[in-house]
A and B are shown apart, each in its own frame.
Chain A
Amino acid sequence: MATDGRMFWRLILKLTISIDKMIAHAIFFYTFSIIAVVSAIMVTASKNTVHSVFFLILDFISISCLFIMIGAEFLGMIMLIVYVGAVAVLFLFVVMMLNVAQQKNQWFAGQATSKHIPVGLIISTLIFFEIIIVIGGWKYKPEIFDINNSLASTSVSNTHSLGQVIYTDYIHVFQISGMILLVAMVGAIVLTFRQRSGVKKQSYIKQISRERAEGVEVLEVQSNKGVKIDD
């Protein structure tokens, strides 16, 4: 029996050795992509909105893992910083504050039909066909897509190659996308900004520049008369 056990362990060892790099790569790829797909489905399927956001975060993280696996480490890290570190936090913030969970449950349980469903269906089919056209075209007619792959294969790190492209060839597109974000931000501020009257505000300059003369007043108090100090 003891020899059998040893044989078994030897077999296991042989198996582990025969797993080469490609298989390890495949294992990681499928793990991350399965997590990504399942969590994407769970975003829409879970009834609790906060859970949806947590699944969305899991989705972002596994997608950034996939980015890192194909060698786009800069993109993966930026994905983590921007989407997971900032955007999803604000999502969570809003969802927790609004308590949307209940509303969503009512909507699912209710009999009333919603006008949003056909619109959503149309948009999602449009996006689906767009993706099919792009991927299909890229797969079967790669020459119509003007993708310059020369930078990806050179020895510089992909942060450098991204920087070389973004700030030279695509500078205008890059600037315009920045302007669009700025306009969106200004719009959001304009929509929510309101000036309320009668709110006491702290002015640091006023506080610091206050002198003794304007703050303190010495009065002679006559007996049985008192003073009126507020004006």
Chain B
Amino acid sequence: MEYLSIIFQEVYKILFLLVPVLVSVAMIVWLDRRVWAFVQKRQGPNVVGPFGLLQSLADALKYIFKEIIIPSSSNKVIFILAPIVTMTLALIAWAVIPFSATQVLADINVGILYLFAVSSLGVYGIIMGGWASNSKYPFLGAIRSAAQMVSYEVSIGVIIINVLLCVGSLNLNDIVIAQQNMWFVIPLFPMFVIFFISALAETNRPPFDLPEAEAELVAGYQTEYSGMMYAMFWLGEYANILLMCAMGAILFLGGWMSPIDVYPFTLVPGAIWLILKILLLFILFALVKAIVPRYRYDQLMRLGWKVFLPLSLIWVVLTASYLFYFNLLPVN
């Protein structure tokens, strides 16, 4: 019975994490469209349910009842695997996100490395989908996204090193607790900006949505997908965006910690603060989508390699020498 109860407990915990994540992905799609519409002085989806909140559910229902078409000349196994990989990778990363000091599914030592690894694996769903479709536009989209995601991962990695220098641990809870006195967004503000822009590129959001640039590539790597498989790509993409927002909130905005350490604020559970910070970052994501025009491909590569990488490397040297000179290096 012991083993069974352990398994049940774990399954219960996982469901308790994943169901809210999936529901919030649906809600976030609605929020994205709503913010986008308001910037352009439109109403956006406001018909289904109160304020149009159930729009995403209606869309999901539509996708479920659509036919799944598999192109006859495609590589069928990889074609079917691609959306599954995207979706799975977007969901397994949530295992290490701490919602409070104790509410975390897997409190592992190398939490931030795990997050980084999973987000860097995300490119495979896109490459597999693009290659297996055996069609020109998806292939071009996949190649673009491979180059783009690999380039921006480098600067995200260097930014993470910046934060780790100040923390002295790879555990996500330690990173949150190290921000008790001051959020890292204040001393590392340029890094926060670079992280935000790199996160846009990493999740293929506008203005860096070249892999699915509809003016050039129809829908990029998703062109041949239909029905539920297309919806899974879409869900995985938004789950990834939420994940990058959560990563930003944990690395720079103090994670589950309340903004001011005063009595009425500390009563609010950590999960609420984390969700609010994720929402704040997500609204920024949505605003950027509405405001900024798409980058050209060479400009994108130039920004990644010639601007962000040197800047973040210089900042690593600065942070390290500052911490060393003032004897602030975290030693345990």
Contact = CB atoms under 8 A, between A and B. Distances in A.
A86 B120 contact: yes
Given A54-B78, A57-B124, A86-B150, A77 B113 contact: yes
B116 A90 contact: no
B99 interface: no
A85 B1 contact: no
B267 interface: no
Contact of B131 (A89, A96, A157): A96
Nearest to A201: B298
Nearest to B118: A80
Contacts of A167: none
B110 interface: yes
Interface in A140-195: 157-160
A89 B146 contact: yes
Contacts, number: 71
Main secondary structure, interface of A, reads helix
A17 B150 contact: no
Contacts of A85: 117, 120-121, 123, 150, 153
B120 A16 contact: no
A97 B3 contact: no
B153 A50 contact: no
A40 interface: no
Nearest to A61: B121
Given A73-B108, A73-B109, A96 B139 contact: yes
B316 interface: no
A73 B150 contact: no
Contacts of B150: 85-86, 89-90
Interface residues of A, number: 27
A89 B109 contact: no
A159 B117 contact: no
B4 interface: yes
A8 interface: no
The interface centre, meaning the residue of A73, A84, A85, A158 with most chain B CB atoms within 10 A of its CB, is: A85
Contacts of A158: 109
Interface in B81-128: 108-110, 113-114, 116-117, 120-121, 123-124, 127-128
Interface string A63-104: 000000000011001101100111001101100110000000
A89 to B, nearest CB: 5
B224 to A, nearest CB: 16
A13 interface: yes
Interface in B125-175: 127-128, 131, 139, 142-143, 146-147, 149-150, 153, 157, 170
B149 to A, nearest CB: 8
Contacts of A19: 3
Contacts of A84: 117, 120-121
Contact of A81 (B117, B142, B143, B149): B117
B67 interface: no
A46 to B, nearest CB: 12
B2 interface: yes
Nearest to A156: B332
23 contacts: A16-B3, A17-B1, A17-B2, A54-B78, A54-B128, A73-B109, A74-B113, A77-B117, A80-B121, A81-B157, A84-B121, A85-B117, A85-B121, A85-B123, A89-B123, A89-B150, A92-B131, A92-B146, A93-B146, A96-B131, A96-B142, A157-B109, A159-B110
Q: Which 6 A-B pairs have the closest CB atoms?
A: A85-B120, A77-B113, A80-B117, A157-B109, A81-B117, A73-B110
Given A13-B4, A57-B124, A74-B110, 6 more contacts: A77-B114, A77-B117, A85-B150, A96-B142, A158-B109, A159-B109
